[in-house]
Amino acid sequence: MSTDETKVRPLHPEGAPRNPGFAGITGEFDLTEAQIRGTEYVGRRPVDGGHASVAGTLPYQIADRNPDAPLFEGPYAERLEKILTRYPDRQAALLPALHMAQEIRGYLSPQSMDEVAARLELPPAYVRGVATFYTMYNLQPLGKYLIQVCTNISCNLCGADAVLDAFLEHTGNDMGEVSSDGRFTVIEAECLGACGFPTVVQINERFFENVGTQDVPSILEMLK
Amino acid sequence: MAEEATPTELITCTIDGMVLQVPKGTRIIDAAAQLGIDILHYCYHAALSAPAQCRMCLVEVEKAPKLMPACVTTVMDGNVIHTQSEKSLKSREGTLEFYLVNHPLDCPVCDQSGECKLQDYVAVEGRAMGRLAEPKRIIGRDDFGGDVLYEGDRCIMCTRCVRFMREVAQDERLGVVARGHRMAIDTFFEEGMEGNIWADNVVDICPVGALVSKDFLHKARSWDLDRTPSICPNCTQGCNVTLQVRDDEVMRLKPRPNEEVNSYWMCDYGRLNYSWINRGGRIEAPLVREGERLVPTSWSDALVRLSELAKGAAGGVSAVVSPFMSNEDLGAARRVIAALGGGEGVFRVERGEEIVLPGFPQLALREDRAANVHGAELLGFTRAGDDKGKGGLQNAAVHGGVVFVMGDELADAPADFGTGASLFIYVGHVLSPAARNAHFVLPATTFAEMEGSFTNVHHRVQRFWPALHVPAMARPAWQILGVLLAGVRGVDAPATPADAFSLLGELRAEYGELRFSDLGAQGRPLPRLGALAETMGD
């Protein structure tokens, strides 16, 4: 990790290891980031959704995404059944069903929307309307790592635009595009809810806080 | 809207200083309409649900903290409502300014121009000058298939079309895609609206020029069109329509509201099947056979000669009529047949699949694809031929007595049709090869060129009015045949369509119980028969 001090973070103790997004930099304890957060960038979760009460609320990204995988088969069929028990009608289960499709395939293709519509017996045009309304549904294939840079007000005041540009520059990407090696997609995000630690970057399911432009290469280095 | 089992409680409200009593549960917009106050609105449509999302109908209700949407707020007892107060005017002005943020000012090339709600409202209540300096967003156009073209830039997102497809057509092909200023109406990718015969109704209900008809695209300006109330001639449903005419040519058909028949809707088959009304090559003068030739002559000459011949007619009549002719025409034909010795009369009609509008099941594209099949049947004509409206002429073709053809074009008739007849009378529109065999060719008007009535599938008698000029010497068939009958029998000829209609009572008593002038623009069911047809579910 870089040990440079910058104007952006004058409160950092001299010589402390700079690890963006990790409270250990305050020097209060000796654990490493990996020991606390693990090294995965996606959470682990039961494919069948676990208990019915949480089956519809699981995070939506997994490491292995296959755009051709079947949608509602095996444990996923079981999970959808659990989800359906939690809602008054099929229409209400549309959001978690789309999340599931995205978890399996990585993004929502027209084909996926059509399959979800057929499974829930909803009009495909309606499903498309819902899928395009919410920004957390990806309508294009993504890189292995989805880098979401918050550019809302707190982060913006603390230089989020420069961080975003740095990510784009270091991945050699255009916004929203998949990098040529298939690893990165960089997008701008609205408030990620960590305004006390600007700039916030969410990579897949992990938060990086207090990110400055100088941290970008090392973060990308960590993402193998 | 709501019909309650309990006796309806009347409540009193004041709208713009006028006191009004309405049933409890009436919406402000409907109450105001009763006073002749038109509360501006986009998303509200009487036949659809009201999402209250266009924010145009906000009115001031005294003691309410905020402006209320008139399309969903029900009137409360003692409400004092101001539609023209400074607060509501200011609100509408602001709303309109927001609509114009992204609405292109392409009115000079927009088909909706002249009948556009945005244009109208901005002219009345909008700001004189726009303040927007930013560029407008571009969404572009999208061909929805069928007859529908989507001009996304003009769309104001009232979602009437989405709600029509969901609630009335019940084939939810349209949805709102994306959000914010990128919002657009779209189908499921390339699915389109092809194959839904009710799709063009979304063009009618679109308050702006976002959904336009490809058939009508850049064909005429709204203010150049003459609008005549009429009846769609293309099936037995008898949808109430307006014929919209420019330069003596029907440019388009638009549905005319009639809760008993078609609500606000009509099908694409009827709507787009109008080019035959504009057809040229019409017979323009009475023609009388002299040897091998048909010679044009005056009406008096033709009818005097015909009635002389008709007096001596023998061998009975074999008649072919068209179910596109009016009740009055068919009644006159029936009387002529009787006067010439009696005989059988047939009509031929194209048939197809019946397609019901799920959200308004009284309305369907009916199997019989001509307006007056039921009128013809009531007046004693029988169906002949196949489902393509062909064949069934075998009796008339070789009949040795009087052959009488009215309206039917005889397109598929044998070349020697009627050559064996002692007298062959052709009353019609175009001179097909078989019609050239006639001894007398009498030019008649189509429904679009005359006043008259049709009888629909539920035995409802509905009037239509002339929209086009009569080609040269053509006359309504009831008038021609009335004069002919006067010559043959010495009775008075009917002078007006109302006279001709009143004569129908002699053929069918039910018609006698209706008066032509009582039919109005919405029609009346034939007594007894109208109810009967309903219960039979026909």
Q: What is the pTM of this model?
A: 0.90
Q: Which residues of B touch A137 (CB under 8 A)?
A: none
Q: How many CB atoms lie within 10 A of CB A70?
A: 12
Q: Which residues of A touch B189 (CB under 8 A)?
A: 110, 128
CB contact under 8 A, A129 and B176: yes
Domain boundary among B224, B242, B264: B224
Q: What is the mean pLDDT of each run of 10 residues along chain B (538 residues)?
A: 65 95 94 95 95 94 95 95 95 95 94 96 93 92 94 96 96 94 93 94 96 96 96 96 96 96 96 95 95 94 95 91 97 95 94 96 96 96 94 92 95 92 96 94 96 96 96 96 94 94 94 94 88 45
- For position B417, which CATH number holds? 3.40.50.740
pLDDT value for B537: 41
Across the interface, of A110, A114, A128, the residue whose CB is closest to B175 is: A128
Between chain A and chain B, the number of residue pairs with CB atoms below 8 A apart is: 37
Confidence of residue A206 (pLDDT cuts 50, 70, 90): confident
Residue B270 lies in a domain: no
CA A42, A44, A46, A50: dihedral to nearest 10 degrees? -100
> How many Å from the N-terminal Cα to the C-terminal Cα in chain B?
28
Nearest CA in chain B to A129: B177
Q: How far is A131 from chain B (nearest CA, A)?
A: 8
> How many Å from the N-terminal Cα to the C-terminal Cα in chain A?
16
Contact B500, B494 (CB under 8 A): yes
Contact B198, B265 (CB under 8 A): yes
CA B480, B482, B484, B488: dihedral to nearest 10 degrees? 180
Which superfamily, per CATH, for A145-222?
Glutaredoxin (3.40.30.10)
In terms of domains, do B71 and B148 share one? no
Confidence of residue A210 (pLDDT cuts 50, 70, 90): confident
Residue B321 lies in a domain: yes
In terms of domains, do B194 and B111 share one? yes
Rounded Cα distance between A151 and A159, Å, is: 9
Domain boundary among B201, B224, B247: B224
pLDDT value for A28: 57
Complex confidence, ipTM: 0.88
The whole-angstrom distance between residue B339's C-alpha and the CA centroid of its chain comes to 35
Dihedral sign for Cα B94, B96, B101, B102, please. Answer: positive
Closest alpha carbon to B161 in B74, B87, B245, B51: B51
Q: Which residues have a Cβ under 8 Å from the Cβ of B262 and sit 6 or more positions away? A: B237, B239, B240, B255, B360, B362, B363
Rounded Cα distance between B498 and B487, Å, is: 21
Rounded Cα distance between A160 and A211, Å, is: 9
Q: What is the mean pLDDT of chain A?
A: 83
In terms of domains, do B55 and B111 share one? no
DSSP track, chain A:
------SS-TTSPTT----TT-GGGGSS----HHHHH-S-SS----TT-SSTTTTTS--S--S---TTS-SS-THHHHHHHHHHHTSSSTGGGHHHHHHHHHHHHSS--HHHHHHHHHHHT--HHHHHHHHHH-TTS-SS---SEEEEEE-SHHHHHTTHHHHHHHHHHHHT--TTPBPTTS-EEEEEES--S-TTSSSPEEETTEEE-S--GGGHHHHHHH--
- For position B77, which CATH number holds? 3.10.20.740
Nearest CA in chain A to B173: A125
Confidence of residue A3 (pLDDT cuts 50, 70, 90): very low
Contact B287, B296 (CB under 8 A): yes
Confidence of residue A55 (pLDDT cuts 50, 70, 90): confident
Q: How far is A128 from chain B (nearest CA, A)?
A: 7
Rounded Cα distance between B114 and B122, Å, is: 12
Rounded Cα distance between B318 and B224, Å, is: 45
pLDDT tens column, A60-108: 666 678 889 999 999 999 999 999 999 999 999 999 999 999 988 989 9
Looking at domain A40-140, its CATH class is mainly alpha
- For position B171, which CATH number holds? 3.30.70.20
In terms of domains, do B113 and B151 share one? yes
Domain boundary among B224, B255, B273: B224
The token pair at A129 is: 């309307």
Q: Which stretch of A39-48, A158-167, B52-61, B233-242 has the lowest confidence by average pLDDT?
A: A39-48
CB contact under 8 A, B178 and A125: no
Q: Provide φ and ψ at B231, rounded to 5°.
A: -125, 135
Q: Which domain, by its residues, includes B184? A: 103-118+126-224
Spell A43-68 as b/e; 16+ CB within 10 A means b: eeeeebbeeeeebbebebbbeebeee
Q: Which residues of B touch A114 (CB under 8 A)?
A: 188
pLDDT value for A63: 65
Every domain of chain A and the residues it spans: 40-140, 145-222
Across the interface, of A114, A123, A129, the residue whose CB is closest to B177 is: A129
Nearest CA in chain A to B191: A125
Confidence of residue A49 (pLDDT cuts 50, 70, 90): confident
Q: Which residues of A touch B175 (CB under 8 A)?
A: 123, 125-126, 128-129
Rounded Cα distance between B424 and B402, Å, is: 6
In terms of domains, do B177 and B293 share one? no
Residue B255 lies in a domain: no
pLDDT value for B313: 86
Q: Which residues have a Cβ under 8 Å from the Cβ of B291 and sit 6 or more positions away? A: none
Structural domain tally of chain B? 3
pLDDT value for A96: 92
Contact B475, B493 (CB under 8 A): no
Q: Which residues of B touch A123 (CB under 8 A)?
A: 166, 172-173, 175, 188
pLDDT value for A7: 42
pLDDT value for B488: 93
Nearest CA in chain B to A139: B178
In terms of domains, do B58 and B107 share one? no
Contact B448, B243 (CB under 8 A): yes
Q: How far is B48 from chain A (nearest CA, A)?
A: 18
**∠ Cα B84 B90 B96 (to 5°):** 105
Largest CA distance in chain A: 61
Strands B68-69, B58-61: parallel, antiparallel or unpaired by DSSP? antiparallel
List B424's β-bridge partners, or say none: B403
